[in-house]
Amino acid sequence: MRLPIVLDTDPGIDDAAAIAAALFAPELDVQLITTVAGNVSVEKTTRNALQLLHFWQADVPLAQGAAAPMLRPLRDAADVHGESGMEGYDFVEHNRQPLAKPAFIAIRDAVMSAPEPLTLVAIGPLTNIALLLTHYPECIFNIRRLVIMGGSAGRGNFTPNAEFNIAIDPEAAARVFQSGIDIVMCGLDVTNQAVLTPDYLEQLPQLNETGKMLHSLFSHYRSGSMSSGLRMHDLCAIAWLVRPELFALSPCFVAVETQGTWTAGATVVDIEGRLGQHANAQVALGLDVDGFRRWVSEVLALAP
């Protein structure tokens, strides 16, 4: 049985690799892709996602989502992913269009019509998921779990204490972690270890057309370097879905700081249970790096 999922994303170069893995992992069935503002504007993330779907000739509906965080102006990561969000590869023209409804409504429709609970996977800011839970709280009962790439039990990568996806919309993240939904959090504690080696990156163009495309994108990705290795943050969320044995998870209470001038977006991960709160997430704290790299090699080889 393939696991039905909804993938919420903000492509983004490492998002492109994660989308490839989600589409071609034989264990997964991508029912819907939704976009959100994050790495670049939502217009650009939507264009990028549609370009990827056309590249792979994938018949998956796509809905455009939130253009801005719930309460804050958007701060993007064009300095990491390039001005378009996917610099480095010339995609062909196409006439694909997003659905004529916003992402949170498209997710609601997918969840409520699904014959079995759906798994949501969010690898960008959590704005769309927070809007879904705010406007349609009844959806919780047909959501199996939410797997996110975001947060950190230690240091941040956007501010000293905050990881990018959470820092872009802390209020949305706080709403999600307070919702009671079953959450698996793949944060920087594991994603900073999820490095593809220079040797593997060098061989990508010989793999297939997908390998050529990703190699071109990776050449412009600034989360590491082609000569020292690249961190594949978003791929970790997909990897957990199909290879959970690669991860060491710990049940923790996670709170999201929304008020601090210097700490907004920080995830307070109570590993030791000192706050006396019930765990609201399974937090990934360890990764089998060699196993992760083997899986990435296997799944990308399945792409066209």
How high is the pLDDT of residue 227?
Answer: 79
Whether the predicted pLDDT of 189 surpasses 90: yes
Average model confidence (pLDDT) for the chain?
A: 95
> What global pTM score does this model have?
0.96
CA distance 18 to 32: 14
Question: Which has the minimum average pLDDT: 50-54, 84-88, 237-241, 268-272?
Answer: 84-88
How high is the pLDDT of residue 293?
Answer: 97
How high is the pLDDT of residue 85?
Answer: 75
How high is the pLDDT of residue 76?
Answer: 78
In angstroms, what CA-CA distances link 75 with 68, 166, 169? 9, 12, 9
Average pLDDT estimate for 277-285: 98
Task: Tell me the pLDDT band of 224, cut-offs 50, 70 and 90.
Answer: low
Whether the Cβ atoms of residue 11 and residue 87 lie closer than 8 Å to each other: no
Task: Tell me the pLDDT band of 198, cut-offs 50, 70 and 90.
Answer: very high
Buried b (16+ CB within 10 A) or exposed e, 197-229: eeebbeebeebeebbebbbbbbebbebbeeeeb
Average pLDDT estimate for 7-27: 96
Is 81 annotated in the active site?
Answer: no
**pLDDT tens, 211-223?**
999 999 998 877 6
Of the listed 81, 220, 233, 278, which one is catalytic? 233
Whether the Cβ atoms of residue 151 and residue 185 lie closer than 8 Å to each other: yes
The neighbour count for residue 19, using CB atoms within 10 Å, is 27
Sketch out the chain's domains with CATH numbers: 3-302 (3.90.245.10)
CA distance 254 to 179: 12
Closest CA to 299 of 27, 24, 30, 29: 24
Amino acid 132 reads L
Structure tokens at 304: 């066209």
**pLDDT tens, 68-100?**
999 999 887 777 777 777 888 989 889 999 999
CA distance 257 to 264: 5
